[in-house]
RNA sequence: GCCCAGAUGGCGGAAUUGGUAGACGCGUCAGACUCAAAAUCUGGUAUUGGCAACAAUGUGCAGGUUCGAUUCCUGUUCUGGGCACCA
């Protein structure tokens, strides 16, 4: 198959001509002939087409809070209850839209080679896509007709399987559980359901239960117990694994925990103390594989499985399709109407579908979005007078963020999202500045979206961003209050144990607005009024143990908040507003200070200590031009050599720093330069002009003002461009010393027990050094520390 | 639990390819100017010992490679970002 998006009309035409065969391949899914296709009802046809659409409809689980009557994001669920109100949250199946990003998995991997992203970013995306090659194997179940299908990356270890583990969500469990194990299994499944995904993820202790059923090894016929455990996920592979404790760390721990005996198939490579995940051992106790290396066995096992029909080679991706609908008001509405459970797309002429005005943004019934409450949220399909209900879900944030850069190229186009001529002209985004928090969200969606538009011929490039610069996040200091789960009682931080428990009771850790916390002390009255009085009835157990109800106050009873440094975000209530600083120091100072804070790619808490220094620098710069009493003081004299040297040193340094995005060191260089010029009382116009050109990107307002003061008519931005051109034209000759230790080099390093001149004489006299120099005099001799010498040719 | 980063003086950070650790800024101490303050300027400021010259120690922790490690390797702790326990 072509591995690219095509218009759905092509698929329909293909079905009409050849049935369920496309481009000569029998497509996965339902099989039918062209005649059968034509005989189907439109609804049946649409249902089949849905299996192949890039955006399709399916069912998925959401966090449903009955008390709030709404769907919650993972963020809004704490300890299995809603952050607001502390109501129980359960998993609920809802109809959802998805984007078939998994079909792009291979191309998203391949594309990483063409773009300039950091290695860690590429690694994160690669791991997220998670391509693995293995096999699916069917295990017969003793006394049942059903088979247990597992996915494994290590079919070569099949003779080392000591137990099977099935995800608790699998329906097969009901059928295979023996009566004796039934109670234990039901209890375990109930336990898993009560746990949030986050809890299941962070859990260290191993849990599981035996179903009473046995699977049969397809080669040896050995009986293998079938277990259930939450560490196996229903959504990945087949939701069941074959466990090989001698080769897999987690399987090993599971076997130890439940006293399952371990078969050793790798002889001395397994010491009984820890699993050894090697791929290089020679197999033992492995039937027809005995004596083979694991790599050889891999192919042989798969071949044998395929011959006997009990398995096949299989490529798996851990990435799943992207959920594309939200039960919210704010989001792009879908141009979709529903009739008898079938989705129909509106025609182009009916676009755009605009959000309706509403009086209330409250959630709709049964987990539907607010649009479900709107009378008349409906549209007629073209050529029909019948009004049909419009889709009530809206699109998520990434529906817009995935392609906004294209719209920015052609923002006034009423006919297309962006004309091909325009996107051909501008091309890819040259440099994209964004944080690592988007590694596996936005940056992956946007790449997929761009590939789809490219496939359909709307744009001429496949990757949205040529180069990515990961800037660090400015972090905020958050404050937390601790609510005893299921109550409105809040416990002061100091009274909690390490697990944030109070007298054995679990607490929910909730963000509180930093504005109503003084240091760590919560303003109780402000907290009661916060969020429209949601916490009016709150009871506080203060640091000294005093319990305070509404209206009560006891001197000395304070409530202390917990704190954490984390990314600055409205939802964490830890943001700071820069307006005051801009007002006090000006935008140039603020801008330069942010650059001076540290490396762009590093995250750090926001802290205004030191902004004074940058402000002083700009004032000092100003004083190079103006004197309080004398006014303008620059001169038209020719600069001296020393002055030029100071300027050019700064130009070189700032140029290099800017080139490698090291803005903080560039700012340092400005400071050094201005200090030196001040020290020597240098106020030559020719020097100052060049300094301003250099400074423009860092302090544009001041630069522009002083630039005009010097008598220049045009904007300093126009004057800055020739410099950039010159920079690109300049050939930099790299004459750096190279490391020692046998690498190719133009430099030799020797160690001595003596120092300086004496060492130089000895070194140059040494026959080995002379041979190395080939009779030529050394270009440079550098003393490094006092016992080392570098000779450069 | 998994993936990806980061850790250097009192503080933010610098050291561009393995070669004088601490540039630049903040803070602080001392001084100049001032009736005084602000602003500005000058000098000191990693730690320990010493009046000093100087010596020893020092880049989260424990090892390793190297004549030489903030830099490379192995393990580990803590902090941050992401998460879907990925077999």
| pLDDT tens digits, one per residue of A615-671 | 999 999 998 998 877 788 888 989 888 899 899 889 989 988 888 889 999 999 999
Nucleotide nearest to A741 (CA to C1'): B66
* H-assigned helices in A220-319: 249-257, 294-308
In angstroms, what is the C-alpha Rg of chain A?
34
pLDDT number for residue A735: 21
Closest nucleotide to residue A662 (Cα to C1')?
B16
Distance CA A449, CA A540 (A): 50
pLDDT given for residue A764 in this prediction: 64
Q: Which of residues 668-707 of A touch strand B (CB under 7 A)?
A: 668, 671-672, 675, 678-679
Query: Using DSSP, how many helices (H) and how many strands (E) does chain A show?
Result: 25, 36
CB < 7 A to strand B: residues 269-328, chain A: 318-320
pLDDT at position A736, please? 18
> From the CA of A652, how many Å to the C1' of B30?
37
Residue A592 corresponds to which tokens in the numbers above?
């330069």
Pairing of strands A209-216, A131-141: antiparallel
Residues A122 and A146 sit within 8 Å (Cβ to Cβ): no
Cα A75 to chain centroid distance, Å, stands at 15
Nucleotide of closest approach to A478 (CA, C1'): B80
Show the low-confidence residues of chain A (pLDDT under 70).
1, 24-28, 194, 196-204, 718-793
For residue A436, give the DSSP letter. Answer: G
- A374 CB below 7 A from strand B atoms: no
Contact A565, A479 (CB under 8 A): no
Strands A604-605 and A474-484, sheet pairing: parallel
Report which secondary-structure segment, H or E, holds A154.
Answer: none
Residue A436 tokens read as: 């690592």
User: In this structure, is the CB of residue A763 within 7 Å of any atom belonging to strand B?
Assistant: no
Per-residue pLDDT reduced to its tens digit, A447-498: 999 999 999 999 999 999 998 888 887 888 889 999 998 888 999 988 888 7
As a whole number of angstroms, the distance between CA A328 and CA A536 comes to 28
CA atoms within 13 Å, Cβ hemisphere of A83: 16
Question: Does this complex have an ipTM over 0.95?
Answer: no
Give the DSSP letter string of A86-137.
T-B-EEEEEEEEEE-GGGGHHHHHHHGGGSB--HHHHHHHHHHH-EEEEEEE
Within chain A, what is the greatest distance between any pair of CA atoms? 103
Indicate if CB(A616) is under 7 A from strand B. yes
Alpha-carbon gap, residue A785 to A793, rounded angstroms? 20
From residue A595, alpha-carbon distances to A591, A657, A658, A694 in Å are 7, 12, 11, 15
- The pTM of the full predicted model, rounded to 2 decimals, is 0.81
Rounded to the nearest 10 degrees, the angle between the axes of helix A42-50 and helix A8-18 is: 120
Query: Which residue has the closest alpha carbon to B82 C1'?
Result: A437
Q: Determine if strand B comes within 7 Å of the CB of A206.
A: no
CB under 8 A, 24+ apart: contacts of A675-682: A675/A620, A676/A646, A677/A624, A677/A643, A677/A646, A678/A620, A678/A623, A678/A624, A680/A642, A680/A643, A682/A624, A682/A639, A682/A643, A682/A646
Spatial CA neighbour of A369 closest among A349, A391, A337, A354: A391
> Is there a contact between A239 and A170 (Cβ–Cβ < 8 Å)?
yes
Proximity of residue A396 CB to strand B below 7 A? no
| Residues 489-548 on chain A lying near strand B, CB distance under 7 A | none
A475 strand B contact, CB < 7 Å: yes
Report which of A602, A599, A581, A601 is spatially closest to residue A591, judged by C-alpha positions: A581
Q: Residue A473, CB, less than 7 Å from strand B?
A: yes
pLDDT value of position A563: 84
């Amino acid at each position: 198959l072509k591995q690219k998006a095509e218009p759905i009309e092509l698929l329909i035409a293909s079905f009409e001509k050849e049935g369920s065969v496309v481009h000569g391949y029998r497509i996965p899914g339902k099989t039918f002939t062209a005649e059968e296709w034509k005989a189907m009802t439109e609804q049946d046809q649409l249902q089949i087409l849905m299996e192949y659409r890039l955006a399709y409809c399916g069912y998925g689980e959401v966090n449903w809070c009955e008390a709030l009557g709404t769907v919650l994001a993972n963020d809004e669920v704490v300890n299995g209850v809603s952050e607001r109100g502390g109501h129980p949250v359960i998993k609920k199946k809802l109809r959802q839209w998805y984007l078939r990003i998994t079909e792009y998995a291979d191309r998203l991997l391949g594309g990483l080679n063409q773009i300039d992203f950091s290695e860690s970013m590429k690694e994160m995306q690669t791991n997220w896509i998670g391509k693995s090659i293995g096999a699916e194997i069917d295990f017969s179940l003793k006394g049942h007709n059903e088979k247990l299908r597992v996915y494994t990356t290590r079919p070569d270890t099949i003779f080392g399987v000591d137990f099977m583990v099935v995800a608790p969500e699998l329906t097969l469990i009901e059928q295979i559980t023996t009566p004796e194990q039934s109670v234990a299994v039901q209890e375990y499944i109930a336990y898993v359901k009560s746990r949030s995904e986050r809890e299941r993820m962070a859990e260290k202790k191993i849990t599981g239960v035996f179903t009473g059923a046995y699977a049969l090894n397809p080669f040896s016929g050995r009986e293998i117990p079938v277990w259930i455990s939450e560490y196996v996920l229903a959504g990945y592979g087949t939701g069941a694994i074959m466990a090989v404790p001698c080769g897999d760390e987690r399987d090993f721990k599971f076997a130890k925990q439940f006293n399952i005996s371990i078969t050793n198939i790798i002889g001395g490579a397994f010491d009984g103390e820890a699993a050894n995940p090697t791929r290089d051992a020679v197999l033992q106790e492995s039937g027809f594989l005995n004596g083979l290396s694991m790599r050889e066995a891999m192919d042989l096992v798969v071949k044998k499985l395929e011959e006997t029909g009990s398995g096949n080679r299989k490529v798996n991706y851990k990435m799943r399709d992207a959920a594309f609908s939200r039960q919210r008001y704010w989001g792009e509405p879908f141009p979709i109407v529903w009739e008898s459970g079938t989705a129909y797309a509106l025609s182009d002429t009916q676009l755009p579908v605009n959000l309706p005005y509403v009086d209330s943004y409250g959630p709709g019934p049964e987990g539907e979005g607010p649009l479900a409450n709107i009378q008349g949220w409906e549209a007629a399909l073209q050529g029909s007078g019948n009004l049909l209900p419009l889709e009530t879900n809206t699109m998520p944030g990434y529906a817009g963020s995935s392609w906004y850069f294209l719209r920015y190229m052609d923002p006034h186009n009423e006919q297309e999202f962006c004309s091909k001529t325009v996107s051909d002209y501008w091309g890819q985004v040259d440099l994209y500045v964004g944080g690592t928090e988007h590694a596996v969200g936005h940056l992956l969606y946007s790449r997929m979206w761009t590939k789809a538009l490219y496939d359909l011929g709307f744009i001429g490039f496949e990757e949205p961003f040529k180069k990515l610069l990961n800037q660090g996040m400015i972090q905020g200091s958050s404050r937390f209050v601790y609510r005893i789960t299921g109550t409105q009682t809040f416990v002061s931080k100091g009274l909690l144990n390490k697990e944030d428990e109070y007298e054995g009771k679990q607490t929910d850790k909730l963000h509180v607005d930093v504005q109503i916390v003084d240091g760590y002390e919560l303003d109780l009255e402000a907290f009661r009024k916060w969020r429209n009085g949601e916490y009016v009835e709150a009871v506080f157990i203060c640091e000294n143990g005093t319990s305070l109800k509404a209206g009560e106050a006891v001197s000395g009873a304070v409530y202390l908040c917990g704190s954490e440094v984390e990314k600055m975000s409205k939802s964490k209530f830890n943001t700071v507003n820069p307006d005051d600083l801009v007002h006090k120091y000006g935008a140039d100072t603020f801008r330069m200070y942010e650059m001076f804070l540290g490396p762009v790619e590093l995250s750090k808490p926001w802290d205004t200590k030191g902004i004074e220094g940058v402000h002083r620098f700009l004032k000092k710069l100003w004083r190079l031009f103006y004197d309080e009493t004398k006014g303008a003081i620059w001169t038209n004299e020719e600069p001296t050599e020393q002055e030029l040297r100071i300027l050019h040193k700064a130009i070189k340094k700032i140029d290099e720093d800017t080139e490698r995005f090291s803005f903080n060191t560039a700012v340092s260089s400005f400071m050094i330069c201005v200090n030196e010029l001040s020290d020597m009382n240098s106020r030559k116009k020719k020097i100052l002009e060049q300094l301003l050109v250099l400074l423009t990107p860092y302090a544009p307002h001041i630069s522009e003002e002083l630039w005009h003061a010097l008598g220049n008519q045009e904007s300093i931005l126009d004057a800055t461009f020739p410099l950039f051109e010159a920079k690109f034209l300049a050939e930099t000759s790299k004459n750096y010393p190279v490391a020692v230790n046998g690498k190719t080099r133009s430099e030799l390093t020797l160690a001595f027990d003596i120092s300086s001149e004496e060492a130089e004489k000895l070194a140059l006299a040494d026959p080995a050094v002379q041979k190395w120099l080939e009779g030529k005099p050394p270009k440079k001799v550098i003393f490094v520390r006092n016992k080392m010498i570098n000779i450069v040719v």
